[in-house]
Amino acid sequence: MTETIEIKAGVELPARREEIELHTADGLTLVGELALPVDADPVATMLALHPLPTAGGFMDSHILRKAAARLPALADIAVLRFNFRGTSSPRGTSEGSFGDGIAEAFDLRAAVDFVRERGLPVPWLVGWSFGTEVALKHGRGHEIAGLILLSPPLHRTSQEELAAWAGTGIPMVAVVPELDDFLRPEEARERFSVVPDAELVAVEEGKHLWVGEKQTRRVLGEIVERLNPERMPLPTTWPA
């Protein structure tokens, strides 16, 4: 009988991991990591945009770190994470300083360009909190397959910027915690109504930071459901 381990917080499953650098059009170098399946080509790419740097967000914010630790092995998904300008993590510090969601347009473009240059398939922007603002403000016009918005606060995104996504044909999925600190499902339905095709997923008992394995698995499942649904449901154990 094959022994197994439970997939939970500290578990990192096999992947080809590469430290990478992104180079922005305004002359900065950003640090990041690309995680790929070990024995297969990826079927899709998760381009992760992290939470607010001034509140402790970085490329290792737990949902994004766990996505990189699990999804290449569990779902054949490539995961690209990086630190926005001026942000530090164990990987290193990206050059520049916090741009309040404006200058980060250059960071997003550098990441999308990297995905294209590497030939990574089917890129989805997966933003969390502040990362959703960057995706919504600056994602249009890039070659992306869709957007997944985790805990979108819609603080920096105007209704005009949001409405501009209507009719683009780009899938948009807003994953909104029932107990979010900033935007809860009822208000989110009203705000996102300007994008008629947007899908809103209200997560019962969810909170902004998605703390706990139950919420982590729910969020990663929502991502895989869009990027590679054939791999659902995600397993909770792995051969030891």
pLDDT of residue 2: 80
For 116, the 3-state DSSP assignment is helix
Mean pLDDT of 79-98: 98
Q: What is the pLDDT of residues 152-208, one digit of tens each?
A: 999 999 999 999 999 999 999 999 999 999 999 999 999 999 999 999 999 999 999
Full residue range of the structural domain in which residue 144 is found: 4-239
Q: What's the chain's average pLDDT? A: 98
Q: Return the sign of the alpha-carbon dihedral for residues 54, 31, 35, 6.
A: negative
Q: What is the CATH number of the domain that holds 17?
A: 3.40.50.1820
How large a percentage of the chain has pLDDT more than 70? 100
Question: Which is it for strands 146-150 and 123-128: parallel, antiparallel or unpaired?
Answer: parallel
Secondary element (H or E) of residue 225: helix 213-227
Closest CA to 79 of 43, 39, 53: 43
Burial of 165 (0-12, 13-18, 19+ CB in 10 A): buried
Mean pLDDT of 207-214: 98
Q: Tokens 């990362």 map to which residue?
A: 131
Beta-strand ranges (E) seen in 129-197 are 146-150, 172-177
Q: What is the pLDDT of residues 29-88, one digit of tens each?
A: 999 999 999 999 999 999 999 999 999 999 999 999 999 999 999 999 999 999 999 999
Cα angle 172, 178, 184 (rounded to 5 degrees) comes to: 65
* Whether the Cβ atoms of residue 171 and residue 159 lie closer than 8 Å to each other: no
pLDDT beyond 90 at 139: yes
Instruction: Look up residue 188 and give its two tokens.
Output: 């989110």
pLDDT of residue 1: 62
Counted domains in the chain: 1
